[in-house]
């Protein structure tokens, strides 16, 4: 006889962590509707929502709309609620789901109920079955209706009654319960799709945004593709300043970028910027969705890429945000910018204490409406010193203008028009929507240092900056604007500004228009990295972030405060693939010849290095030599010519194929440290190991150095060559050095700090050889145009060698002890 099935979705509205989550909106319908749509795909005879008495009336219409019946029962004794419902149904099998899982794998649910029923007909039936290994929030439970009724009678344990499954699976002596590993198609235990917290809800929104709305429930493959996507995994949260007195520019910029990126915008409940709601509504007309405005920053369960446009971060904000996925800050002016993974400066600033990763005024949104004729015939004037104008400069500025320009029509923007009702000659108006495109109508714009002043300049208006601080006075001077110095505004000062030769500013800024949203999107996908040796992020356990050594447009470098190594802490560059092209096209681009064309000269270098290694080895030193990152085998060939037994390892398949088939050396293709040398070569410990220009490529140096330490005999020599962070290039122009440092060099070694790092792994540095001497890179040589081969040239060359100022370095160390 065919068994009868019932789907029962458990739902209540009184969740403590996220109240009313089943009714939250997700892509135009409730979370509950998503669950019901998915469960409707599972074949069953009855479909029920089991809720409590209080939630019943609210849920009933949603249930009905989605083909479910609604049953009300006990709020806290969920087991009783289920049993009361089951007693009214004539079914054999129950498929239980909960209302907080909008992305249920209904295909897995179907498969598991079939498995349950197949077992039931077999000689090994069970009372309860569930798949394990599904994403958190994708699973259902299957059990026998009668088994649950029996179980409920047998237990008075409060925990059993607050839940459903435990009445069965916590009593395995009475019930046969199966936890079956899910088929590989469904098996992704590290993913999370449930909605238990606010952060989970934001993830769900991202998933729906990624997949785009669909009437039908998403398939397993669709949900998986969303969960693994960059979009879902790098949620962008804009944090604009919405503080009274800091202007509306930050909010405008963030909302505009949020429309482009579909990112979230954090507006705290206690925001003090009066215009906030109105400006948000303005952007809703441009495509901003209500759900993009959030009032909590997602927590560690759904870490976000935080984009601050905040004027000045507080230390607490900087600390908290730096624990998120990434912290990218726009026009950041606080003393805590060291916490930021990336600094983007858009408005020219005078900040001398720090360099940004990128300064680019192309991201200022330029007005489309531009004056055709730029003239100094001033008839229409706009005074716009921020709606709130905390320093009260609007009125004196407008009055000073009226005195100086008696015929002109003067308009001033204020937040409270009523207050200025009785002042003659000046037209006071409320903040203007989309001012940027209206600003061209004015011959002269009087504003403080900020976006409006630049927009007015781009629109071709005459501009006077009212300096609100001494710093802004210097900024106005630097960018050649007419300005009124910091302090009180009077008629004479205004007259002086009006006669300034800079009244019509010649904006020496990029006229290009770039999209901030798409640049933020690119930065959001960048990688944040921790110290490759210590393997913990700069903020973990440390009060302060690691010091920034250099920033450039795609990367940030820091010095680890624990071990001292310089490492790449953020990169917006794509990962490099070490394929054939790496040794050919890319190598040729950098060095002018391919790796194999350069083979003999590299081989001779290797011979010299191997000679140094031999000289440092003990008398009875053995001959087994391993070259990690052996490429096409120059060092292996050198070693063979020197009478050693060479072994090679490299990640590039093509190179290993060449080494084995053409050079006939034993070699393994592996992503070091993922190698079992005993299995590959029959050797567990080597007499010497080298890495020539390889060590800087590892993101996890700890695992690499630990592994090498175990692979080398006590007393054996481990040597590596790498670019030097203490060579003349790094010393003379640190930012240039890091800007041209290859994007796949994750650590930069400084010889003076190597000993401390290597000691951790049982090594003692026994020799440092400074190489790569380039007199032409010395500032003196560049200044005086010193010719190669001249006496001065030779002197600099000698100096470079004595002072170890080569741009590359070889570090030789001896294995002293086990790690």
Residues in contact with Zn ion by CB under 5 A are 531, 533-534, 560, 562-563
Q: Which is nearer to Zn ion, 277 or 547 (CB)?
A: 547
Point out which residues pair with 129 in neighbouring strands.
Answer: 142, 178
Cβ closest to Zn ion, residue 486 vs residue 536: 536
At 686, which helix (H) or strand (E)? strand 686-692
Containing 645, the helix (H) or strand (E) segment is: strand 645-650
- Rounded to the nearest whole angstrom, what is the least distance from the CB of residue 699 to Zn ion in the complex? 13
Please state the closest distance from residue 760 (CB atom) to Zn ion, in A: 10
Collapsing DSSP to helix, strand or coil, 593 comes out as coil
Rounded-to-integer distance, Cα 702 and Cα 760, Å: 10
Residue closer to Zn ion by CB (options 20, 564) is: 564
Q: DSSP letters of 243-303?
A: -TTS-SHHHHHHHHHHHHHT-EEE--TT---TTHHHHHHHHHTTT--GGGEESS---TTS-
Residue 770 Cβ, how far from Zn ion at the closest point, in Å?
Answer: 24
Q: Which is nearer to Zn ion, 413 or 560 (CB)?
A: 560
Dump strand ranges (E) for 693-762: 712-723, 747-748
Please give the sequence-ordered ranges of beta strands (E in DSSP) within 60-208, or none if there are none.
69-73, 93-98, 128-132, 141-144, 177-181
Q: What is the C-alpha R_g of the chain?
A: 34
Output the smallest distance, CB 755 to Zn ion, in A: 14
Beta carbon of residue 546, minimum distance to Zn ion (angstroms, whole number): 8
Is residue 93 within 8 Å of residue 4, measured between CB atoms?
yes
The β-bridge relationship of strands 645-650 and 667-669 is parallel
> In the complex, what is the shortest distance from the CB of residue 604 to Zn ion, in angstroms, rounded to a whole number?
35
- Would you say 127 or 538 has its CB closer to Zn ion? 538
Chain position whose Cβ is nearest to Zn ion = 560
Question: What are phi and psi for residue 242, nearest 5 degrees?
Answer: -125, 45
The one-character DSSP state at 338 is: G
Report the residue number, 481 or 746, with the smaller CB distance to Zn ion: 746
CA 219, CA 217: separation in Å to the nearest integer? 7
In the complex, minimum distance from the CB of residue 564 to Zn ion, in angstroms, rounded to a whole number: 7
Cβ closer to Zn ion: 462 or 560? 560
CB closer to Zn ion out of 491 and 561? 561
Q: How far is the CB of 535 from Zn ion (least distance, A)?
A: 8
Question: 577: which DSSP letter?
Answer: P
Q: How far is the CB of 560 from Zn ion (least distance, A)?
A: 3
Handedness of CA 160, 164, 170, 174 (dihedral sign): positive
Q: Which is nearer to Zn ion, 527 or 774 (CB)?
A: 527
What 3-state class would DSSP assign to 692? strand
Whether 324 and 340 have beta carbons less than 8 Å apart is answered as: no
Q: Report in angstroms how near the CB of residue 809 gets to Zn ion at its nearest.
A: 19
Residue position matching structure tokens 């100096």: 799
Q: Which of 155, 142, 158, 148 is nearest to 43 (CA)?
A: 142
Question: Considering beta carbons, is residue 79 or 748 the nearer one to Zn ion?
Answer: 748
Closer to Zn ion at the Cβ: 541 or 643?
541
Cα–Cα distance measured from residue 753 to residue 751, given in angstroms and rounded to the nearest whole number: 5
Give the residue with the Cβ less far from Zn ion, 161 or 558. 558
Residue among 637, 754, 651, 756 nearest 694 (CA): 651
CB of 107 vs Zn ion, minimal distance in Å: 46
Q: Which is closer to Zn ion, CB of 567 or CB of 658? A: 567
Report the nearest approach of Zn ion to the CB of residue 805 (Å).
25
Residue 240 burial (CB < 10 Å; 0-12/13-18/19+)?
buried
Per the CB < 8 A criterion, the answer to whether 475 and 454 are in contact is no
Give the number of other Cβ atoms within 10 Å of residue 776's Cβ. Answer: 14
Instruction: Tell me the C-alpha distance between 627 and 686, whole Å.
Output: 10
Q: How many Å apart are CA 397 and CA 483, to the nearest integer? A: 12
Q: Strands 326-330 and 305-309, how do they pair?
A: parallel
DSSP-assigned letters across all residues of 754-801? HHHHHHTTTEEEEEEEEE---GGGSHHHHHHTPPTTSHHHHHHHHHHH
- When the beta carbons of 517 and 532 are compared against Zn ion, the nearer one is 532
User: Which of 575, 549, 587, 544 lies closest to 562, judged by CA?
Assistant: 544
Q: Find, among 406, 413, 412, 414, the residue nearest to 378 by Cα.
A: 406
Q: Which is it for strands 566-571 and 747-748: parallel, antiparallel or unpaired? A: antiparallel
Shortest approach of Zn ion to residue 359 CB, angstroms? 30
CB-nearer residue toward Zn ion: 311 or 761: 761
Min CB(700)–Zn ion separation in Å? 12
384 or 533: CB nearest Zn ion: 533
**Could you tell me where the DSSP H helices lie in 479-567?**
491-498, 516-524
Residue 57 CB, shortest distance to Zn ion, in Å, is 59
CB of 392 to Zn ion, least distance (A): 52
Listed in order, strand segments (DSSP E) in 396-443 are: 409-413, 426-429
Report the C-alpha gap between 421 and 637 in whole angstroms: 90
Of 445 and 534, CB closest to Zn ion: 534
Q: How far is the CB of 111 from Zn ion (least distance, A)?
A: 47
Q: Minimum CB separation from Zn ion for residue 563, in Å?
A: 3
Complex with Zn ion: residue 349 or 700, whichever CB lies closer: 700
CB atoms within 10 A of CB 161: 19
């Amino acid at each position: 006889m065919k068994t009868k099935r019932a789907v029962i979705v458990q739902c209540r509205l009184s969740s403590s962590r996220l109240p009313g989550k089943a009714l939250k909106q997700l892509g135009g319908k409730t979370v509950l509707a998503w669950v019901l749509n998915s469960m409707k795909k599972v074949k069953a005879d009855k479909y029920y929502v089991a809720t409590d008495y209080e939630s019943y009336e609210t849920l009933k219409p949603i249930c009905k709309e989605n083909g479910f019946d609604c049953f009300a029962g006990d709020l806290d004794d969920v087991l009783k609620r289920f049993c009361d419902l089951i007693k009214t149904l004539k079914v054999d099998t129950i498929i239980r789901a909960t209302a907080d899982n909008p992305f249920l794998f209904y295909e897995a649910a179907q498969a598991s109920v079939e498995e349950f029923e197949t077992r039931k007909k077999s000689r090994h039936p069970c009372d309860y079955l569930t798949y394990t290994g599904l994403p958190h929030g994708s699973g259902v439970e299957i059990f026998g209706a009668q088994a649950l009724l029996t179980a409920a009678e047998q237990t008075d344990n409060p925990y059993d009654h607050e839940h459903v499954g435990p009445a069965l699976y916590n009593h395995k002596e009475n019930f046969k319960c199966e936890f079956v590993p899910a088929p590989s198609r469904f098996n992704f235990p590290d993913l999370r799709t449930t909605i238990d917290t606010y952060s989970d809800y934001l993830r769900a929104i991202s998933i729906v945004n990624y997949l785009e709305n669909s009437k039908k429930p998403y398939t397993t493959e669709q949900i998986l593709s969303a969960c693994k996507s960059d979009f879902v995994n790098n949620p962008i949260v804009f944090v604009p300043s919405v503080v009274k007195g800091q202007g509306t520019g930050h909010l405008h910029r963030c909302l505009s970028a949020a429309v482009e990126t579909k990112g979230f915008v954090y507006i705290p409940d206690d925001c003090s910027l009066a215009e906030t709601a109105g400006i948000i509504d303005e952007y809703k007309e441009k495509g901003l969705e209500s759900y993009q405005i959030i009032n909590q920053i997602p927590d560690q369960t759904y870490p976000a890429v935080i984009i601050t446009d905040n004027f000045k971060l507080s230390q607490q904000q900087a600390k908290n945000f730096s624990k998120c996925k990434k912290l990218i800050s726009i026009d950041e002016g606080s003393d805590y910018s060291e916490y930021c993974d990336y600094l983007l400066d858009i408005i020219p600033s005078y900040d001398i204490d720090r360099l940004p990763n990128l300064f680019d005024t192309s991201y200022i949104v330029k007005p489309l409406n531009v004056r055709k004729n730029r003239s100094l015939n001033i008839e229409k004037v706009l005074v716009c010193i921020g709606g709130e104008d905390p320093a009260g400069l609007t009125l004196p500025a407008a009055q000073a203008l009226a005195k100086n320009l008696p015929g002109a029509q003067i308009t001033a923007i204020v937040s409270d028009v009523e207050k200025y009702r009785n002042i003659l000659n000046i037209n006071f108006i409320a903040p203007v929507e989309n001012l940027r495109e209206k600003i061209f109508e004015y011959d002269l714009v009087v504003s403080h240092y900020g976006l409006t002043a630049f927009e007015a300049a781009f629109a071709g208006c005459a501009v006077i900056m009212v300096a609100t601080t001494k710093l802004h006075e210097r900024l106005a001077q630097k960018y050649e604007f007419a300005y009124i110095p910091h302090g009180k505004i009077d008629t004479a000062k205004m007259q002086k500004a009006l006669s300034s030769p800079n009244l019509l500013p010649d904006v020496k800024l990029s006229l290009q228009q770039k999209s901030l949203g798409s640049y933020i999107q690119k930065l959001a996908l960048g990688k944040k990295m921790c110290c490759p040796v210590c393997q913990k992020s700069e903020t973990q356990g440390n009060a302060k972030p690691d010091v920034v050594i250099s920033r450039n447009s795609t990367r940030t470098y820091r010095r680890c405060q624990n071990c001292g190594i310089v490492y790449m802490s953020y990169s917006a560059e794509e990962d490099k693939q070490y394929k054939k092209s790496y040794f050919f096209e890319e190598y040729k681009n950098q060095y002018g010849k391919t790796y194999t064309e350069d083979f003999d000269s590299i081989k001779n270098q290797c011979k010299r290095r191997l000679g140094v290694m031999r000289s440092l080895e003990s008398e009875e030193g053995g001959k087994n030599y391993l070259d990690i990152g052996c490429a096409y085998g120059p060092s292996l060939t050198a070693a063979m010519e020197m009478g050693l037994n060479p072994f090679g390892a490299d990640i590039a398949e093509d190179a290993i194929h060449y080494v084995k088939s053409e050079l006939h050396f034993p070699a393994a293709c592996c992503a070091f440290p993922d190698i079992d040398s005993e299995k590959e070569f029959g050797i567990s410990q080597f007499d010497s190991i080298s890495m020539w220009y390889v060590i800087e490529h590892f993101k996890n140096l700890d695992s690499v150095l630990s592994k090498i330490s175990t692979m080398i005999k006590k007393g054996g020599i481990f040597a590596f060559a790498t670019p030097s962070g203490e060579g003349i290039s790094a010393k003379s122009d640190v930012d240039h050095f890091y800007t041209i440092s290859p994007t796949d060099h994750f650590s930069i070694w400084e010889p003076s700090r190597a000993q401390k790092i290597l000691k951790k792994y049982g090594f003692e540095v026994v020799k440092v050889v400074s190489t790569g001497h380039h007199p032409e890179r010395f500032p003196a040589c560049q200044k005086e145009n010193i010719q190669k081969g001249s006496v001065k040239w030779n002197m600099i060359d000698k100096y470079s060698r004595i002072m170890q100022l080569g741009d590359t370095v070889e570090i030789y160390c001896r294995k002293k002890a086990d790690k």
